[in-house]
């Protein structure tokens, strides 16, 4: 789990939610910090976005231990752990 600031820390946001790492990455890949500040600063607004809605539907079918291919435990500084 990771803490997602609903209003980015850059803009002095403090409130947030704990979400899965993959979901956190998707939010920041989809929205700029300015978009998060100006509109997507609630869970409801993030969910209403078409791309996020499709992602949530897809990821909800994955096992709770699902991680993306770039999980930090597998990769460090661009080198694969053996």
Q: What is the tally of structural domains in the chain?
A: 1
pLDDT digits (tens, 9 = 90+) for 4-50: 999 999 999 999 999 989 999 999 999 999 999 999 999 999 999 99
Is residue 78 in a domain? no
1-17 residue pLDDT tens: 899 999 999 999 999 99
Domain extent for 35: 2-65
SS3 19: strand
Rounded Cα distance, 76 and 2, in Å:
18
C-beta atoms surrounding 40 within 10 Å? 22
Tell whether 58 is covered by a domain: yes
18 domain-assigned: yes
Q: Is the pTM of this model over 0.85?
A: no
């Amino acid at each position: 789990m990771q803490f997602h600031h609903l209003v980015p820390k850059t803009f002095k946001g403090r409130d947030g939610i704990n979400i899965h790492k993959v979901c956190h990455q998707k939010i920041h890949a989809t929205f700029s910090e300015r978009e998060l500040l100006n509109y997507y600063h609630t869970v409801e607004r993030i969910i209403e976005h078409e791309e996020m809605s499709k992602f949530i539907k897809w990821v909800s079918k994955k096992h709770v231990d699902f991680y993306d291919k770039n999980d930090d435990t597998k990769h460090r500084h661009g080198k694969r752990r053996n």
